[in-house]
Amino acid sequence: MTPPITINRAPVLTLWAAVVAERLGFDRDEALTLGRAVAGLNAQSKGRRLGIYEAPKPGEAAQRKKAASRMEQVELLGRAVPVVHTTQGLRAARDGEADSPAAVQRYLASKFGDSLDAAEHAMKKLAGSFTPRELAARAYDLYEAFRPAIPAGVRGWGAKGALDLEKVTRLSKKKGG
């Protein structure tokens, strides 16, 4: 029995979104930046909902929306991720600049520690048990089924919870079923 990993939700969502992106056909470096972008967009949205972040002023919101609409986007886990093309491939864009896959990998390693390989293996097994089309449609629901439980509201902001890798594995579709 593998003990649960005590971790914040953001790195869990980053890793899961990266695993999903790879299953959907993106290469590893592309997937890492897309994963971090999904987690960042989620955090920003939740932070605004909880009153931790201020919502943009009406003029700013319209300006950001217009700028984002001019950028190419990739749909992942229900989020429209702005992307840019680089000489190394597609990258999620942060303020119009390409994110760094190496920085995302360092972030994941620092948050998961020695459990990173086991967590990634469990998530890849889960993602691989679905066709890409099924996974694209269900990826966020699957994340909600295994993400660490944390207190509701502001109390849960940044809180750590238990990530049960056996639960992740149990969510895998049975082959042939």
Q: How many domains does the chain have?
A: 1
Query: Does 134 map to a domain?
Result: yes
Pair 30, 90: CB distance under 8 Å: yes
Q: Is residue 87 exposed (0-12), middle (13-18) or buried (19+ Cβ within 10 Å)? A: exposed
Residue-level pLDDT at 2: 78
What residues make up the domain containing 166? 5-170
* pLDDT computed for residue 164 by the predictor: 96
pLDDT of residue 52: 57
Q: What is the pLDDT of residue 175?
A: 46
Say if 177 falls within a structural domain: no
The SS3 call for residue 2 is: coil
pTM of structure: 0.85
Q: List the pLDDT tens digit at each of the 177 positions of the chain.
A: 678 999 999 999 999 999 999 999 999 999 999 999 999 888 766 645 555 556 667 766 565 555 555 679 999 999 999 999 999 999 999 888 999 999 999 999 999 999 999 999 999 999 999 999 999 999 999 999 999 988 676 556 677 899 999 999 999 975 433
CA dist 174 and 170 (Å) reads: 9
pLDDT value, residue 84: 95
- Burial class from Cβ neighbours inside 10 Å (0-12, 13-18, 19+) for residue 108 reads buried
Helix (H) or strand (E) holding 23: helix 9-23
Q: For position 48, what pLDDT does the model report?
A: 56
Distance CA(120)–CA(156), nearest Å, equals 24
Residue 175 included in any domain = no
**Pairing of β 79-86 and β 89-94:** antiparallel
Residues 150, 135: Cα–Cα separation, whole Å: 25
In a domain, 149, yes or no: yes
151 SS3 class: coil
